Amino acid sequence: MLKTEGSASAYRAEPPDRYVYDFADGQATMSDLLGGKGANLAEMTRLGLPVPPGFTVTTEACRHYLKTGRLPGGLDAQIAKHLAGLEQAAGRRLGDADDPLLLSVRSGAKFSMPGMMETVLNIGVCDATVAGLAKRYGDERFAWDCYRRLVQMYGRTVLGVSAEEFERALIQAKVRKGLVPDAPDTALDADALRALTRRFQRIVREVSGQEVPQSPREQLSGAVRAVFESWDGQRARVYRRREGIPDDLGTAVTVMTMVFGNLGGDSGTGVGFTRDPATGAPGVYGDYLSDAEGEDVVSGVRNTLTLEQFGALDPDAYRELRRHMATLEEHYRDLCDIEFTVERGKLWMLQTRVGKRTAAAAFRIAADLLADGTIDEDEALCRVTGEQLAQLMFPCFAPSGGAIAPIAKGIAASPGAAVGHAVFSSADAVARAAAGDRVILVRRETNPDDLPGMIAASGVLTGRGGKTSHAAVVARGMGRTCVCGVESLEIDEQLGTATVTRGRSAGIVINRGDLISIDGTDGSVYDTEIPVVSSPVVEYFEGHGTHTGDPVVAAVATLLGIADSRAQLGVRANADTPADAARARRFGAHGIGLARTEHMFLGERRPIVERLILAESQQDRTNALNRLLELQRADFTGLLAAMDGLPVTVRLLDPPLHEFLPDLTELSVEIAVADATHQPVTAERRELLAAVRRWHEQNPMLGLRGVRLGLVVPGLYAMQVRALAEAIVARRGDGGAPLAHIMIPLVAEAHELELARAEAKRVLREVDPGLTVSVGVMIELPRAALTARRIAEHAEFFSFGTNDLTQTTWGMSRDDAEGAFFPAYLEHGVFTASPFGTIDPEGVGALVRAAVKRGRWTRPDLEIGVCGEHGGDPASIHFFHQAGVDYVSCSPFRVPVARLEAGRAAVLARREAAGSDAVGSDTR
């Protein structure tokens, strides 16, 4: 969501072999090429903020490297040229023995992938420069600390030595000095660090058979390659799949002059947000660590100061930081997060981006920025998503009135209420979740290797780290509940225990497998299962649109209002009962797009249907139909009353008839056993078996369903139509305004529809010649889509049944496929999402487009809806908007999400047509 300045295509006009851009040459719109980090560093440079000099190697170079295994020709020379410029700007040279320049080399893809790729710091320190570095900063300890960090990072990242090798040596160095193993690294003096550097070098040699190069230029090119390669690392791939980030984008590499936060008490490093990323509340927010490098803050290994505490420590740097944060928020017109370093009192801005936020914060910030005139209504709408709204409709914990006290409190890092069995490793989380358990991943702190466990868990609980720790950032990004930094919990991952060490609950132990609850909204941890209640947003809808001033609920109301005013797609609900219909109406549905009538035939009514199927005589059949007629009339009357004045689309019976009869195998076995043991079997039972055999189908989903049933079972559809017609008449008599439509399912051929519709119209006329009830068709078979021109001759409306349309287009059972090969297909990239969840635009979508076009060729004013599951899916809603559909219909609970997305689809399509840069462009 970046400000658009100039044309996004400006950089494409550059020669294709330009692979390196100085910060001064880039801008925020260039994130495709420079990655988010590179583009935003360029933007900050242009804004005149204090950014250390640097340059960015493009994603194009990365893509070339990943494809060919070689750096693009000329890249080395381009890097050398830009390095020379950087050296001039910094007034220092790489490898200069007296005053060496040190560089950081960082990854930065178009979409932020926090902690998923590699970074190498302190490039340029080597035997020849370490003394010069010590001299320049007047600090020998510092110089050796840089050197050992370089060997450690380079060894791990470029040469593949495991992190534990270095950790072990670091602990030994501390113990040798008489320190405890988790003493801060700052406790090691220059001599100890020199020895440690040499030890690290030996480890690298022994484990990898290679050396960390002594040539700073070689260090630089090794680090660039390692960053490129980290795009394809396991962690990065898992993260991309989870976030839906394409695999072929590649990462840029940002090369920047090192500035140091580890130069003593007047130095330090921090991260900040221009608003609270958890709640969206105004006011800066962040963490600071003095005498530390950036990785130390993000990893959550040491406990941090708040920004206010930093302000007390270094008022000048803090004031300047606040100024820059305000500049950035004003410039980007959004919540920004930043990373900064203070080097001996001098503030440097190392990174910014439009910050990740929780769903609640997204709504609140968009509404606040709208209210203060920073953004307009369209932009505010584009700042939130249906997925975020769905998250806000998750349940939360029931208030216990203090009856259940938390055993510990931590930082509320990502909201929601999560209950699950405690697990202490990522692998355990994955295994138990796969077995069907809800789990909470409990870790001292998380690192990127915990990602699979975080995905599998309902919630994440950590003992250390702040709101910007890895656990917090990643959990927020995925919408997982997270409580972090619970310092009163002593977590032993080996033993699988978490022990409360302080407070009234001291001594309580959570063991592996115990049920626990965590509240990501207030940071509470409970050693029991807490009942869960619906969200304030749901309460708001249930309360007919009144709210108690909760800023998030108010924001949802405002943005939904804007969405409704922009939407061209209507939103109806799939509802079969008066209760569902009433709820759908409270959630903002404009009618029922699909009332499935099959549930009206199940349960205690099943024996009546059985009698209908088995009827020997016309009289038996009529008796059964008359009984069903009464029941159906009452069903329809309830639905029409709940939706009075709004359309109710009744779909005539669809499922295979055998579903109303006993199971063939069970009945066969029952009778065979009775016969074998000479037990009596009634004639009725044997007739039933014969009937079940008659109706049995190998492939019922492709068998006697839908309109076929209506044409084959005499009187069935006529009874349903009569029930509806009589319900309309009765409702009118009660002063209501019923508005019903009849929908014929699973039509493949126009003549099927012609017959079924003729019968429906005849019955409608019989009940009341003045009744105007339109009769339409579900398009849910490829043949129907392809012959839509002829079908439309008999249809007063279309509604796409995209569940069956997907099933029959792909030839995959909608009931079985998701369990069997879907994970493998997602893994192989055959699907990027399940086609039953999100419309497949090229296949099923092409049929939808064709049917819309052909149907309207016959009837230009043909009303067209969608009532498959896709009607509530955000991405699919955008597709349907573009395809010219009139409305979508979805489950009542998804109605608000569909309303929001219908509005967004209209705004985004308009922006795209106007050639603007879609989301986040300047609309002031």
With CB under 6 A, what is the number of residues at the site for ligand PEP? 10
Closest to ligand PEP by CB, 4 vs 803, is: 803
Bridge partners of residue 286, in order along the sequence: 272
**Binding segment toward ligand PEP, per CB under 6 A, in 398-406, 800-808, 834-842, 878-886:** 800-808
Question: Does residue 840 bind ligand PEP (CB under 6 A)?
Answer: no
Coil, strand or helix: which one is 606? helix
* Comparison of 871 and 903: residue with beta carbon closer to ligand PEP: 871
CB of 603 to ligand PEP, least distance (A): 18
Partner interacting with residue 868 (select from Mg ion, ligand PEP, none; CB below 5-8 Å by kind): ligand PEP
The region of 163-171, 619-627, 675-683, 799-807 touching Mg ion under the rule CB under 5 A is 799-807
Among 278, 748, 867, 883, binds ligand PEP (CB under 6 A): 867
In the bound complex, what is the minimum distance in angstroms from residue 803's beta carbon to ligand PEP? Answer: 3
Catalytic position from the list 126, 396, 867, 890: 867
C-beta of 451 vs 867, nearer to ligand PEP: 867
Q: Which does 41 bind (CB under 5 to 8 A by kind): ligand PEP, Mg ion, none?
A: none
Sequence-distant (6+) residues with CB within 8 A of 817 are: 836
Q: Which stretch binds ligand PEP (CB under 6 A): 63-71, 531-539, 636-644, 798-806?
A: 798-806
CA 304 from centre of chain = 29
Stretch that binds Mg ion, among 342-350, 432-440, 777-785, 816-824 (CB under 5 A): 777-785
Task: Find the shortest distance in angstroms from Cβ 839 to ligand PEP.
Answer: 11
Tell me if residue 484 is catalytic.
no
Residue 62 annotated as catalytic: no
Listed residue (384, 374, 394) closest to 282, CA to CA: 374
Among 276, 445, 635, 804, binds Mg ion (CB under 5 A): 804
Helix (H, G, I), strand (E, B) or coil at 48: coil
Residue 629 φ then ψ, to 5°: -55, -45
Is residue 654 involved in binding ligand PEP (CB under 6 A)? Answer: yes
For the chain, helix, strand, coil in percent to 5 are: 50, 15, 35
Separation of alpha carbons 173 and 183, rounded Å: 11
**Residue 892 binds which one of ligand PEP, Mg ion, none, with CB within 5 to 8 A depending on kind?**
none
> Is the Cβ of residue 735 or residue 819 nearer to ligand PEP in the bound state?
819
b or e along 69-108 (b: 16 or more beta carbons within 10 Å of the residue's beta carbon)?
eebbeebeebbeebbeebbeebebbbbbeeebbbbbbbbb
Binding window for Mg ion (CB under 5 A); candidates: 64-72, 670-678, 780-788, 904-912:
780-788
Residue 450 binding target from Mg ion, ligand PEP, none, CB below 5 to 8 Å by type:
none
Asked whether the CA dihedral 877, 880, 884, 889 is positive or negative, the reply is negative
362, 551 in Cβ contact below 8 A?
Answer: no
Report if residue 278 touches ligand PEP, rule: CB under 6 A: no
- Choose, from 470, 590, 878, 881, the residue flagged as catalytic: 470
Work out how close the CB of 746 gets to Mg ion at its nearest, in angstroms, rounded to a whole number: 6
Site string for ligand PEP, 759-788 (x = CB under 6 A): ---------------------x--------
CB of 800 to ligand PEP, least distance (A): 7
Closer by beta carbon to ligand PEP, 561 or else 782: 782
CB 458 within 8 A of CB 440: yes
Quick one: which segment of 73-81, 672-680, 710-718, 797-805 binds ligand PEP (CB under 6 A)? 797-805
Residues 6+ apart with CB under 8 A from 361: 275, 276, 277, 278, 279, 280, 335
Opening angle at CA 481, ends 478 and 482, nearest 5 = 100
Considering the complex, state which of residue 598 and residue 670 has its C-beta at the smaller distance from ligand PEP: 598
Choosing among Mg ion, ligand PEP, none, which partner's interface includes residue 594 (Cβ < 5 to 8 Å by kind)?
ligand PEP
State which residue, 384 or 594, has the beta carbon closest to ligand PEP.
594
Nearer to ligand PEP, 515 or 704 (CB): 704
Q: CA nearest 120: which of 233, 220, 47?
A: 220
* Under rule CB under 5 A, residue 647 binds Mg ion: no
225, containing H or E segment: helix 216-230
Q: Does 801 bind Mg ion (CB under 5 A)?
A: yes
Residue 827: φ, ψ to 5°: -60, -45
Greatest Cα pair distance in the chain = 108
Query: Minimum distance between the CB of residue 850 and ligand PEP, rounded to whole angstroms?
Result: 17
The neighbour count for residue 520, using CB atoms within 10 Å, is 29
Cβ closest to ligand PEP, residue 31 vs residue 806: 806
Nearest approach in angstroms of CB 497 to Mg ion is 51
Please give the Cα distance from 19 to 445 (Å, whole number).
Answer: 38
Residue 731 neighbours by CB under 8 Å, 6+ apart: 637, 640, 641, 644, 738
Per partner kind, with CB cut-offs from 5 to 8 A, the member of Mg ion, ligand PEP, none near residue 568 is none
Helix (H, G, I), strand (E, B) or coil at 742: strand
Nearer to ligand PEP, 208 or 803 (CB): 803
Beta carbons within 10 angstroms of residue 579's beta carbon: 12
Q: Does 570 bind Mg ion (CB under 5 A)?
A: no
Using DSSP bridges, classify how beta strands 647-651 and 592-596 pair: parallel, antiparallel or unpaired.
Answer: parallel
Contact of 825 with 831, CB cutoff 8 Å: yes
Through-space distance between the first and last CA atoms of the chain, rounded to whole angstroms: 14
C-alpha distance from residue 720 to each of 40, 576, 646, 851 (Å): 63, 14, 20, 28
804 is a contact residue toward ligand PEP (CB under 6 A)? yes
Compare residues 598 and 754 and give the one whose CB is closer to ligand PEP. 598
Which range in 225-233, 280-288, 371-379, 802-810 contacts ligand PEP by CB under 6 A? 802-810
Helices 618-642 and 578-586: crossing angle in degrees, nearest 10, is 20
Please state, in angstroms and rounded to a whole number, the distance separating the CA atoms of residues 227 and 86.
Answer: 20
Taking alpha carbons only, the member of 107, 131, 135, 139 closest to residue 121 is 107
Question: Cα(307)–Cα(304) distance, rounded to whole angstroms?
Answer: 9
* AA letter at 837: G
Helix H or strand E segment including 455 = helix 451-456
- Does 802 bind ligand PEP (CB under 6 A)? Our answer is yes
Region near ligand PEP per CB under 6 A, out of 84-92, 137-145, 151-159, 796-804? 796-804
Phi, psi angle pair for 778, to nearest 5°: -90, 130
Minimum Å gap between C-beta 708 and Mg ion is 13
Q: Do residues 923 and 378 touch, judged by C-beta distance below 8 A?
A: yes
| Among ligand PEP, Mg ion, none, partner that 905 touches (CB below 5 to 8 angstroms by kind) | none
Beta carbons of 427 and 453 less than 8 angstroms apart = yes
Using CB under 6 A as the binding rule, the residues of this chain from 574 to 633 that contact ligand PEP are 594, 596
Of 298 and 817, CB closest to ligand PEP: 817
Residue 804 Cβ vs ligand PEP, minimum distance, rounded to whole Å: 3
Report the interface residues with Mg ion, using CB under 5 A: 780, 801, 804
| Enzyme catalytic residues | 470, 867
Report the interface residues with ligand PEP, using CB under 6 A: 594, 596, 654, 780, 801-804, 867-868
